[in-house]
Structure 1
Amino acid sequence: MIKSPTAHEISYGLVELNPDGTIQRANDEAKRVLISEDGDSNYLFHRITNNEIKTKLHECFMGRANEFIVTIDNQPVFFLFHRSNNEQSQDRIHVYLFNIYNLLTLHDHNNWNNHLLSSIGEMAAGIAHEVRNPLTAVKGFLQLMEQTYKEEYSHIAQSELDRAIHILNDLMSVSKPEFVQEEKAAFNVCSKIESILLLFQNQLYDINVIKSFQDETAMVVGRRDQIKKALFNLIKNAIEAMSDGGTLMIEQYEDGHDVHINISDSGVGIPKDKLRLLGTPFFTLKQDGKGMGLAQVFNAIQSNHGKIRVTSEEGIGTTFYLSFPKKSQYSTQFIGGNTMLQVVDSKTDLTDFLFKNLDFYTREWVQYLEKNKSYITSLLKENGEMEQYDRAGNPIMKLVAQNILEIKTELIMDVAKERGVKSAKTEFPMHLAWELFQSSRGIIWNAIKSFYQESQNTLSTEEFFTLERNVNDIIDLYIDSYTAYYVNYKEDLLKSHRETVDELSVPIIPIAERVCILPIVGNVDTYRAKKIREKTLVRVKELKANQLIIDISGVPFVDTAVVNHLFKIVKGIKLLGCSTILTGISAEIADTMIELGIEIDNELKTRSDLQQALQDIQQFRIGKD
């Protein structure tokens, strides 16, 4: 039986292993609990008799888990699997064993244990809540289907099951490492932050963004997409915490070992008793949140050898502190053992080669387009783009040549903005622009291949992947920025057009003293119905109308939400002292009104068509005279 510790110390087992599984040392607790005395082998799996432990430890060696619980002598034992790494290779593996009952006996002396148990309880409650909701809906619709089969019920039940599966997949993505992960590489973290901020451009009007980058060329090592997604989520959360505006500050600096990134907001803050739960799956302070975003952030940072901590104060704001190992600690791994000077010299030669041969490869690129994508070249000639390429060369290849030594984020984004806005103004299709981008990428790599063939320079595998990452980072930043500026311009234009259409789509026409008509023509969605309601109330007030005819004979279809908006107009103008006559109601709209339970009372008159409504008004006026 595993002995219980005193109240002031906790006994635990520890086994130190080589990466191949051979035992280096084991303390007495580990020998007594885990390792059999039988056998002379020093191989861990030959010394363990418990098959369940063997299986679970094998999963840990395969990278599929880092901890598990197994019952030994009727007591639960928690196993923690930890790899220690040096700069070049795995150094040691440590397996820790904790008796969970012994941990529980120390709760009065270990606050962290209370927090752990509380977090587990809250996480379990969150899982139960998130998964129970869709499953309850599925159960209800299955019961309805037993009584009356409707295809709609089947679709809803299927979507709710998909939602439950999606929730569980999100949980698995946090609790279980990916079997297939992208390779680690060195990348410019400041340029990634710049590209992320560009994606939030439309949400930053009321927010003051302060960037303080000590070194804009700072490189970190890790899985680029994982870290980029984590930074995206942190910046997104910071922006959402400042719904009424505020300050977003992003700082970057270095010390002797790490690259540090601090992301601060002046938002609502986080209660102190909730701080410890950040990063726990299904814990969220958002009304519509699922609590998986920060869990994935913590997992991504830590799995890339980074560190993360957070401070917050309600009403003042929140700061996330991130740190990553500097690239120099991994220089041997990523530059194939060569010195940094050799790599820079090689890149300098490549830069000169790309500049000197820019015209040649631009012509080769244009010839490829004319031969294989003549539909694009015709459009480029109409817009005058081909002449610009003849003068200045392929813009993406030029950017690669300018930035291969050091990525200048603002330069790339400025060029992308100019070209993206110009393409949007000339209605150049986005899908054709993407074809140009991909063909440009191909011609750039053809040029790089020619450089190494002609110069007879050779690259190691790691050097090649470093070069590949740098070149594609430049191209991707340009494409992302171009797309964002193109879409932003189109959205602004669309918004402007829609506002103009809104002004023209509510033509309230005075036809007699204090009598107006509102003819509604065309499809009416919820957005348009809301605009009609708002402008009708204002116009009725301005005209001091006491009678309004709303003719909807020109509306082909109206859904339930739109019908609700129309009857809100009736109620609203009644408050202004104006009565309503509704004409042109189709059979479909009448059926919708019956479904909604809308009853016609004295606040609304209906007529079959506009002519009948006008005749009634005329007869009423004659009778009064």
Structure 2
Amino acid sequence: MNLNYEEHYSIKDFLINNQEKFEEGLLKEATNVKDKINEIHRIGNINLLGNAHKVVMYIVEDREEDLINFAKYEGIAWAKHSLTLSFKLEWVQAIRRTLWVFLHHYDLLSPSEIDRETFFVQEKKVNVMIDHFFTHFFMAYSKFKDELLEKQRRLVESLSVPIIPIHTDVCVLPLIGELDSLRLTIINEKILTEIGSKSIQTLILDLSGVAPMEEEAVVMISQMIDSVFLMGCKTVITGLRHETVMSLRSPAATFNNQVEYRGTLQLAMKDVSLK
């Protein structure tokens, strides 16, 4: 390898003056990533080669805090744009191997021999710094993804319980799709919270869009209506189709006498407007 070297060069100087050779070596090591460099830059505005040099400089200058902060920044960037983690893993490992190749050449070109103790100190420092980069990159990546999933979960929960106020003390809850235990638990919690905070007196529960229910779901709806009743709120059920009625006729369903029924949501809303 034809490398530029002068006696006064520090390791930093040596790497800076052989940057193009370093990039060539890095791309040879990262066989799967090299064809993705332009794509990664286009998707996430991430300059892999430029960032690799930044990481290497932080390592040889022993700038641990800057390295960690940069690792966190990169972790968020990769998570935000859903870039493939396997590429990052290969890329950082390629940086590690390429850096050691250049440190070896620097030692061969240097007129002074490095003693064993100095070598092991340097080996520990380099590998620990790269491990720190790995650790903080993945921690930042995971934290961003976890927070994103939590936001999406809350959004889905909110959308799955569309409580619509139609009067100062009347609201409509139109349910659509399959009602499983998790979804019904969320619905129950939100309904009781809304009744308590907004002093709702009438809940119109529209079931015209629900799928046929299992017995567990019927039991949970029955318990939900009982809880609503105990909070001083009346339930009006609308939109019962044949298959829904058959589900609700289960012996597990014990609706109290406070429940009223209307054929359609429109009829229930008309009754409310007339009162």
Q: TM-score, normalized by length of structure 2?
A: 0.69
Output aligned runs, 1:224-623, within 5 Å.
Answer: 350=11, 352-366=13-27, 369=30, 372-382=32-42, 383-386=44-47, 389-390=49-50, 393-403=52-62, 408-455=63-110, 457=113, 460=116, 466-509=121-164, 516-522=171-177, 528-540=183-195, 542=198, 544-551=200-207, 553-555=209-211, 560=216, 566-580=221-235, 581=237, 583=240, 590=247, 598-603=252-257, 612=263, 614=265
Are the counterparts in 2 of residues 350 and 448 from structure 1 also a CA contact under 8 Å? yes
The structure whose RCO (Cα within 8 Å, separation 6+) is larger is 2
Shift of 1:516: 4.4
Percentage identity across paired residues of the two chains: 23
Question: Could you say what secondary structure the match of 1:365 adopts?
Answer: helix
- Matched residue type, 2:49: Y
Question: Could you say what secondary structure the match of 2:186 adopts?
Answer: helix
Give, in whole Å, the separation in 2 of the partners of 1:503 and 1:570.
Answer: 20
Give, in whole Å, the separation in 1 of the partners of 2:145 and 2:160.
Answer: 22
Question: Could you say what secondary structure the match of 2:205 adopts?
Answer: strand
Give, in whole Å, the separation in 2 of the partners of 1:379 and 1:436.
Answer: 15
Question: Could you say what secondary structure the match of 1:549 adopts?
Answer: strand
Shift of 1:455: 3.4
Shift of 1:398: 2.1
Are the counterparts in 1 of residues 33 and 91 from structure 2 also a CA contact under 8 Å? no
Q: Deviations over 1:459-516 (max 9, x none)?
A: 64x7655543322211111111111112222323333343344333322245789764
User: 1:504/1:490 Cα in 2 relative to 1: closer, same or farther (>3 Å)?
Assistant: same
Which structure is higher in helix share?
A: 2
Are the counterparts in 1 of residues 78 and 141 from structure 2 also a CA contact under 8 Å? yes
Are the counterparts in 2 of residues 517 and 551 from structure 1 also a CA contact under 8 Å? no
Shift of 1:557: 7.3
* CA RMSD of superposed structures (Å): 4.3
Shift of 1:618: 8.9
Are the counterparts in 1 of residues 226 and 255 from structure 2 also a CA contact under 8 Å? no
User: 1:585/1:474 Cα in 2 relative to 1: closer, same or farther (>3 Å)?
Assistant: farther
Are the counterparts in 2 of residues 416 and 481 from structure 1 also a CA contact under 8 Å? yes
Give, in whole Å, the separation in 2 of the partners of 1:466 and 1:359.
Answer: 28
Q: Deviations over 1:5-61 (max 9, x none)?
A: xxxxxxxxxxxxxxxxxxxxxxxxxxxxxxxxxxxxxxxxxxxxxxxxxxxxxxxxx
Question: Could you say what secondary structure the match of 1:468 adopts?
Answer: helix
Runs of 5+ consecutive residues of structure 1 not aligned to the other structure = 1-347
Shift of 1:420: 1.9
Give, in whole Å, the separation in 2 of the partners of 1:492 and 1:612.
Answer: 43
Runs of 5+ consecutive residues of structure 2 not aligned to the other structure = 1-8
Are the counterparts in 2 of residues 545 and 578 from structure 1 also a CA contact under 8 Å? yes
